[in-house]
Structure 1
């Protein structure tokens, strides 16, 4: 009887999912009935408005821009369709900001973006936004939508045009449905920390240990958390921590994900989202299952459990019942496949990423008025007054012809941080701020 109830919930799209419940609490019951892009825009505008009050006048707007620029390790600037950071940019050597800036440069190349100034959190939890000046951009919020910060796409798409070509090649190579492995697929690592991501991953690995006919959820590297110091361990998790060989699996390239029919997305090892993995799942013309977690990304308002994805939690029997229900119900399986593919086309495609970035910049400027400040000689001089002009760096591609992404995580460095030339418009404006 429990199995039938769960399958009915999935079929009706009514299975509870933490982010959906939070969005209804934030926006009201009518939110659930809105169209996907409309829901995404509503949450974007709510998060922008919740970040800080709208400046009460031009002088206050200039002061707000100055406050963001003062947080120079975390500040980014778009000025006259060029992208800038500062020389103390704290994550300059890491690949994530390289990919994020590659995304922005590729959008700037398609069509100009308005001037904008923002702080940004290069982490995967959004927690820095609690301490940085508004507006602050985050690629995920570990604690849910109500946390401070404005969500933007994660960096792993890199160049939006190159992303479109990669996805087209992957989708073209996907085998016919009958030839694909029907088990639920996941590959990743488990680390020893007691954070929610590692604990969730270990819990999911126990599913494979118990039912490898349903689950192909395996760890490429597994250094299990200590069950004596970490909370939430079941007997199955304790057994697996001691004898993990049965759930080890070889690394699989994203280009080969199409060999499976169903996919599981799990929280990151640090407990936030796991954006890079999920980017690769939506294009694969299969069924996507999300681990029930409060962590959210920018397009989650456009998702609906039972329509765009399934929901899996750490309860093994419920997970098995849910997957049995999908496999036994061809109409449900087809709806989830079509829902995942629609999610990719709407939000995960290059055009979807660009659309959202432009909506975000428009919303930020409407609230915080950075374009107005940077476009006015007097206000711009006020905002730049305390800026160390020699610290400005213009972000450029290392090679404008590409590649803009490296499939080896941690190796991609497609952008360079260059000292602006003497005629660079932002450097000239900065040097002339007291004239």
Structure 2
């Protein structure tokens, strides 16, 4: 499937980019930024003096766009005007509301519209996918994950192992880290699958690691897993809206993600899920049934035996929370208008600039954990600071920087292309230099 949001998306060549540490360079880049108009579409937190802070925490929670309130208000007005009739009446009836989001969502993750839906929250969707796709049999009864997988994913996996009567100690296995940089070496994944694949029922990996910001090669890892007969799924919480994805062409079995990070849909907002079309008609796949997974054509007849809806819709359980979908609708429209290629290109330039400025600092205390190769990272750079504790994070906040702290000693910085610019990056490094008392 050709996907215009993926084709040529990584062709921006920054190898000869001449960055400059002077503030005037950042201001010039901001003036010439093709996405500069989007910053005005977001609300920024303010400090006690009412001054807007520099927000570099989209990897944890995206900012609220100014279209969000109008989108929620439209649903609220429809509820006020129609009551229960709003399910089938009004400008955007609620029963098919989520169907109108599938096209835009599918473009951002590189899928067919029939392969994606918005439902539940991320870990709930992961539980649903594990119910369907973790089917231990014989020697093939293990699950392979990263050592630094996001904790909620590990908890979900552990519960499914226990559900099947399998011990966590014997059936949950980890991809070894590279010994020299603490990242995941993709060659290690390939070799590990080749040596152990016949015992692995399912592989679950974060597309972008939450701690290091490493962006893994999803198509290659999927191929290696399939060559060994393994099912493979991805947690794309830190990838969707951040890096180019092509889930359909990569032949991924399933994926789950949230919408409150780079997609800016609000805290705890509704999540997304993907199931490749080759699994849609497999009636042997177990599913937790609910009436929203029932065929919509006869759903409201109420007396029929369960008939699965077509595509990924059959994995749905409950009716959609429309007030939560409204911000997603507004966000997806903004992403489509901005174009993922432009977003990715600016991300490459911003992280390159951040890396350049950090390396210009005269200190041995700072180490960038995130891979140097642009193809192996998204918006986030994880900055390890030797002998630092959370007080560094607090001092950065006092200096007007909203970033993210993860033990041990890591400040996560994620300049999001839609609302961050080069001056934001410059101001952050200036503040970090002051907090760490770096001379020069």
Name the TM tier (shorter chain): under 0.3
The structure whose residues are more often helix, as a share, is 1
- TM-score normalized by the length of structure 2: 0.28
- TM-score normalized by the length of structure 1: 0.28
